């Protein structure tokens, strides 16, 4: 049985009080869960969440980071600062960062390299737009993204990276991709990463895009999908617990 990795991407949601209510409901529900659970709150909540998640087995992720170690980069957060809060994962290249903050694949690549050299596990987001999908370009787009984003990443890091396949048209829309199509893409990504990193090891591929408590098991039952990156449905403790518990 594969061990699923299920990640909550809270995006720019929740203040401390809301996180407190959420965890009071969520933690008892998932205390016997068999999956690896990760929560990615805003930077502002990391201190609070670190204290609350201690001893629960649930890991912390951030939603972004900058690649420089220190310096005059107003508004940015480094890998060291994240490690200070016991953060283990970092979501990089999310389509919202690409869309609103103009992040490019080569910029994301620098962050991936920095995260790995600091012992953080990047959750690397890739995926096509609806126009690209209709033009049957999904695989080409993902290949282009990963070829640049994984430049300089070596075979020894396959186990330290996670790829989140998130077709942009499925994010926050309520229109999840069909599980067998995602599985096909996951197989493609696994092979692509094997080629790019010259390894026979298999990278973990998560699916993200309108995953909810009704459709999650379809993805989890697919052979090559290792888990999910969940946005909207992860904001509700009961719904997220249901996704985890099946
Ligand atoms: P969604 O978001 O689950 O709300 O579609 C997923 C994501 O953006 O990571």
Query: Which atom of ligand 1 lies closest to the CA of 96?
Result: 8
Tell me how far CA of residue 238 lies from CA of 4, 10, 17, 243, in angstroms. 18, 14, 17, 9
pLDDT at res. 73: 98
Q: Is 120 within the bounds of a domain?
A: yes
For ligand 1, is residue 141 a contact (CB within 6 Å)?
no
- Rounded-to-integer distance, Cα 78 and Cα 68, Å: 7
Per-residue model confidence (pLDDT) at position 193: 98
Cβ of residue 13 lying under 6 Å from some atom of ligand 1: no
Rounded Cα distance, 197 and 67, in Å: 21
Residue 70: inside a domain: no
Structural domain range at position 29: 5-62+77-245
171 close to ligand 1 (CB < 6 Angstrom): yes
Count how many domains the chain has: 1
Q: Considering the domain boundaries, does residue 68 fall inside one? A: no
Closest CA to 157 of 111, 198, 208: 198
Q: Is residue 153 in a domain?
A: yes
What are the E-state strand segments in the chain? 5-9, 36-40, 59-62, 87-92, 121-126, 162-165, 204-208, 227-230
CA-wise closest residue to 130 among 144, 141, 119:
141
Please work out whether the CB of residue 244 comes within 6 Å of at least one atom of ligand 1.
no
SS3 of 55-104: the string is CCCCEEEECCCCCCCCCCCCCCCCHHHHHCCCEEEEEECCHHHHHHHCCC
Residue 108 lies in a domain: yes
Q: Give the residue, out of 166, 206, 207, 243, with the most ligand 1 atoms within 8 A of its beta carbon, to mutate for a pocket test.
A: 166
Measured by CA distance, the residue closest to atom 3 of ligand 1 is 231
Residue 10 is predicted with a pLDDT of 98
Query: Is residue 72 assigned to a domain?
Result: no
Q: How far apart are CA 79 and CA 171, in angstroms?
A: 27
CATH of the domain at 140: 3.20.20.70
Tens-level pLDDT at each residue, the chain (246 residues):
789 999 999 999 999 999 999 999 999 999 999 999 999 999 999 999 999 999 999 999 999 999 999 999 999 999 999 999 999 999 999 999 999 999 999 999 999 999 999 999 999 999 999 999 999 999 999 999 999 999 999 999 999 999 999 999 999 999 999 999 999 999 999 999 999 999 999 999 999 999 999 999 999 999 999 999 999 999 999 999 999 999
For residues 184 and 186, give the distance between their C-alpha atoms in angstroms, rounded to a whole number: 5
In a domain, 71, yes or no: no
How high is the pLDDT of residue 183? Answer: 98
Number of the ligand 1 atom closest to the C-alpha atom of 9? 9
Would you say residue 69 lies in a domain? Answer: no
- Cβ–ligand 1 distance for 168 under 6 Å, the answer no
* Structure-block tokens of residue 189: 């990504």
Give the model's pLDDT for residue 1.
73
Report pLDDT for 154: 96
């Amino acid at each position: 049985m594969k061990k699923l990795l299920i990640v909550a991407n809270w995006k720019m949601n929740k203040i401390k009080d809301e996180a407190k209510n959420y965890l009071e409901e969520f933690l008892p529900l998932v205390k016997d869960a068999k999956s690896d659970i990760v929560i990615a709150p805003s930077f502002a909540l990391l201190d609070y969440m670190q204290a609350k998640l201690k001893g629960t087995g649930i890991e912390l992720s951030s939603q972004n980071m900058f690649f420089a170690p220190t310096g005059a980069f107003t508004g940015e957060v480094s890998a060291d600062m994240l490690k200070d809060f016991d953060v283990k994962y970092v979501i990089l290249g999310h389509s919202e960062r690409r869309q609103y903050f103009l992040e490019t694949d080569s910029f994301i690549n620098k962050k991936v390299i920095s995260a790995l050299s600091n012992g953080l596990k990047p959750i690397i987001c890739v995926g096509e737009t609806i126009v690209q999908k209709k033009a049957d370009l999904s695989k080409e787009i993902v290949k282009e993204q990963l070829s640049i984003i994984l430049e300089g990443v070596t075979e020894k890091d396959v186990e330290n990276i996670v790829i989140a396949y998130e077709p942009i048209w499925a994010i926050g829309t309520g229109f999840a991709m069909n599980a067998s199509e995602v599985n096909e893409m996951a197989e493609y990504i696994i092979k692509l990463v094997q080629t790019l990193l010259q390894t026979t090891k298999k990278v973990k591929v998560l699916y993200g895009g309108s995953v909810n408590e009704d459709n999650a098991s379809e993805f989890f039952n697919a052979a090559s999908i290792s888990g999910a990156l969940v946005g909207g449905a992860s904001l509700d403790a009961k719904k997220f617990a249901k996704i985890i518990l099946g």
